[in-house]
Structure 1
C-alpha cells in the first residue's frame, strides 16, 4: 500500500478536530499507522510561527502573513511530511495550502496567482491525495466557537471574512476531485460514517 497524504480543511468551527481521533482509529483498523500533524505548526519553528500568526495582538501585512504561512509550510514539508511519505507512512494534516487559498486568498484578498507561485516553489508538485472539507454555514461555526473557546486572531474576524473563506473553499472543491465535501451540520455518527467509507476507498486504491 503506497503512502497517502490526507488533509482536513474547513472554516474555523467546522468541526475538524472533533473527528481526528476517529480518523486515527479508522486508519488503524485498516492497518495504517499514520503521522498526524497540523498547520501552521508541526515543527518547532512552525509552532512558534503558529503562536505569532494566531495571537490577537499580532499586526502584519497581508503579504507578510502569507509568506509566514509558507515559511512554516516549507519547514513542515522538510521535517515531517516528506520524510514520512518517503518512509512509506500516511500523513494526515489538519490544514495545508488550501487553507492559504481560502484564508489569505478568499478572506484577505491576496491574489491567488501570488499564492500559486509560492505553492509551486515550496511544494514542488506535491499535493494531497484526499482533502476532507468539513463544510458548515458560517453562522453555525460562529456559534460553536463562541461556546467552546477563546477566539484567536482569525476567529475574531467579521462574518463577511468567514463567508469569503467558505466560498473560496467550496470553489476549490468544485474544481478538484481530490476534495470530499462533508456536510458538518449533520450528526457526528453520520459524518464519521462517510469518513470511514471514503478512507476505506482510498486504502483500496492501487
Structure 2
C-alpha cells in the first residue's frame, strides 16, 4: 500500500469510527448529549484517529476492544461496576479493593472513581475492553470549596502513602491513574520546587 493509500484508508476508518462512537453516545446519553457536548474529549485526544490506526494495524475484530489485554489500575473513590458505561460486549473485568478504610459507595451517589474509570475504559471513551482494578481510598465528600493538593504537601508524603503505593503497584498493572491535582500550572513552579 502506498503512503497515499494508507492515508486515505485512515481517513475513511477515522470517519467510520467517529460515526460509530457518536451513534453510541447519542443513543445511550441522549439526555446529556443535548445539554453537553459529550464527544469533545474524543476530539481533544484524537480518539477517532487512534481507533482507525488500530483497525488498520490489527483488523476490525481486534480493534473493537482497544483495551483488551491491558490492566488499568486507578486509585480513586471507588467504582460502580454495574454502571452502564461498563455494560457492553467485550468489556473487561472490574475488581475493587478497599484501602485505608474506604467503603463501597452508594449506587445512587456520584462517584469520581466511576467517572474517571468510564473515561479510561468505558464503552464511550478510551480503552474499552481493558481490565480495571480500582483501589478505593476515602476522599472528601466533594462539598465545600475546592482546595487542590500543593507540591509541598505531595513532597511530604508519609509512610502510609508509601504502603498504599506498594500495595497497588504489586498488582500487575500496565497503567496506573491517580487523579491528584495541584495548585496552578507546571510553569508556576521552579525546577527546584518540582525536584524537592
Category of TM-score, reference length = shorter chain:
under 0.3
More helix by share: 1
Higher relative contact order (CA 8 A, sep 6+): 1
TM-score with structure 2 setting the length: 0.25
Q: Rg larger in 1 or in 2?
A: 2
